[in-house]
Amino acid sequence: MANVSQLGYLGLNVSDLDKWEQFATELLGLEVVDKTPQRFLMRMDEYHHRFIVQQGSEDDVAFIGWEVADQNALQELDEQLKHDGIKTTPGSAEEARMRGVLAFMKFQDPSGIASEAYFGPLMNFREPFKSPRPLSGFETGTMGMGHIVIRADSSSQSLHFYRDVLGMRISDFIELPRGHRMGKQLSLTFMHCNPRHHSVAFGEIPVAKRLLHFMLQAKTLDDVCSTMYLAQDRGIPISGSLGRHTNDHMVSFYMRSPSGFEVEYGFGARTIDDTTWKVQQHYSGSIWGHRGMGSAPPPQKAAE
């Protein structure tokens, strides 16, 4: 069975390219490497680029790119998708150049989210990644660009697709009780395809957009904290204050992007060794923190 090996790139449809370029470079610290009036490409490591940001009214995910090892793996994955009743379409040579890959194919996940699998990413070792900000860089490499959290129409169908078709493994589940900031009981599934704790998470989440957030993992805690204060100084809404997650133990915060979905900026997540990892269950998303800015602390019980 062919398995995807990392979240390689992310395509975004955004209504305001200028605001996004400013946000991505001045706040996130990503580097623009190619630009036209209708889109721009951004890098964060030795890959030529990891983001394709293009003009579109949706302000949501445009497509998700999953890497496989080689041409044989791409062909095998194509057969797995078709065996599961999923239509696949080869990407054109022009589209492959825009994504920076040798070849790729298109398909949809069970929720209709445009997805792609590719091999042969374009690399740039000659010119090291240079952030517009004084950052230490991002944790990527074989773990991919980070992670995404998406709204699924059916968690059970999504679990089958990502596990049994794309070959990912379950990391854990979080069961959020009624009364958290989403307002209803939720079940979230976290899945990995390399040592990163999760490359994708999903649930039947009551929001309009498909993309809830994407995560960038910084190499230092200082980079996370300085970015949070910079966001506050720039008037960028902080939707989740500094905190540590229960499942991946990442220390992070959440800020609102110009498109309305969130970006998680984090440091220090634990990794997974599939030879020893056991699927876990959690009843809270955070060990501490991740409150909405301005949220009051939970009420204390009166002394008896």
Pairing of strands 280-282, 51-55: unpaired
**Cβ-based neighbours of 279, under 8 Å, separated by 6 or more:** 170, 171, 172, 173
Provide the pLDDT for residue 185.
83
* Cα 239 to Cα 261: distance, rounded to the nearest angstrom: 10
Domain encompassing residue 105: 6-289
Q: Which helix (H) or strand (E) covers residue 226, if one does?
A: helix 221-233
Provide the pLDDT for residue 127.
95
Confirm whether 295 is domain-assigned.
no
AA identity, residue 121:
P
Backbone angles phi, psi at 272, to 5 degrees: -115, 130
Closest by CA position to 43, among listed 62, 24, 56: 24
Confirm whether 301 is domain-assigned.
no
State the distance between the two ends of the chain, measured CA to CA, in whole angstroms: 60
Q: Which two tokens stand for residue 297?
A: 């602390």
Provide the pLDDT for residue 68.
98
Confirm whether 261 is domain-assigned.
yes
Confirm whether 220 is domain-assigned.
yes
Q: Which two tokens stand for residue 228?
A: 């949070």
Provide the pLDDT for residue 177.
80
Strand-pair partners of 9 = 65
User: Residue-wise pLDDT tens for the chain (304 aa)?
Assistant: 999 999 999 999 999 999 999 999 999 999 999 999 999 999 999 999 999 999 999 999 999 999 999 999 999 999 999 999 999 999 999 999 999 999 999 999 999 999 999 999 999 999 999 999 999 999 999 999 999 999 999 999 999 999 999 999 999 999 988 645 555 689 999 999 999 999 999 999 999 999 999 999 999 999 999 999 999 999 999 999 999 999 999 999 999 999 999 999 999 999 999 999 999 999 999 999 999 865 444 444 444 3
Question: pTM of this prediction?
Answer: 0.94
Confirm whether 302 is domain-assigned.
no
Confirm whether 94 is domain-assigned.
yes
Confirm whether 298 is domain-assigned.
no
Provide the pLDDT for residue 183.
58
Q: Please, are residues 22 and 257 in contact by the beta-carbon 8 Å criterion?
A: no
Q: The CATH number of the domain where 107 resides is what?
A: 3.10.180.10
Pairing of strands 262-267, 200-203: unpaired
Domains: count for the chain: 1
Confirm whether 214 is domain-assigned.
yes
Backbone angles phi, psi at 169, to 5 degrees: -120, 150
